[in-house]
Structure 1
């Protein structure tokens, strides 16, 4: 039997670490002990004795945060022994090694992360109620994180100059950066003559910002690959809790 499907580039990739990229669109989790958290429904194949369990919010406090902010994603815990292959809607996969670090991540861009990392939903400093509240997931500690981007990402060095990013295109950034919400809402916006660029996140300090060439539309509540995220409810975060 002959086919380009059997070419070496399509074979399983072996590599060091628990998170191994198989291609630009797929990654493999090497599970031998402990567990790994991943986006529910992201498994496309697995080999071995693997169990998938629903991961709760992790206590009443985190559950309330998820309901109030809409930031929390459905997470599953994978345990056992084997290899699990993960993907999300053909998006590009990237793996980050955290070594006693902390990053702030758009929840819609999380594919998987090590059980050793502490996760927490936090209000983005400087982006308050005027924007409807902007909340991201902070991952802290030592371990691996797999992110997805809708297209090739751009790495910006926030320390070179004041950096402004569309909130819907921001994937992740250094947790230590100072953030301000820049708004441009005037009479033209009130009359419906908008540019669609009324909100930007300003990043200041030493660190990086990752931007994708697409918008999750958190401010507009559009489809983002399975998750509906809308922080523009007249009730703010309480609107999500009362749905």
Structure 2
């Protein structure tokens, strides 16, 4: 067991990133298709093809899901994924070709690295070409390359966060896994301690929760903090159940 999303058989994960510009893309490929639902929340979500996942709509399976940096510009990366899968003959058969069904979601990382370098078609294709069912890199990779936490006192005091994955398997063989790019406003806690968040001038961490309570009337943090991810399981679900 790898204890990450690759414990779900039939999935591959590929990632590509620009480490200098601090942005990237992660693709999860299901070559044989996977039933998929979606939950979109927040003040300014950036998504593509998620309406198709509504249980009342006809399409049951997707061939890939894309997580990307670059804000709305990063949605272009999914086109590179579609091109790659079409060339491999993977997608929904419409007679004249196969159309890959590739929902995607983006996070806002324009304020951390180079705002004018975003995931594009070439980076989406590169992520597909790097896809593996054996190796998953976590941290500053793919969509997590430009992800940050701890924005209470502005981007100059934030921490990079990244992308991470975990999986659990029960005694009867049910596996549930997550792959998450964390681009949050607040802090990351472990065992009761802040391990990433808003930095004080002396290098220690401020407590975002306490800071929000003290300055609630003056804070504005909507639209720039987006945690995106994928939950996967080996349990057979309908699209409605997945949603």
Same fold (TM over 0.5): no
Structure with more contact order per residue of length (Cα contacts < 8 Å, sep ≥ 6): 2
TM-score by length of 2: 0.29
TM-score by length of 1: 0.29
More strand by share: 1
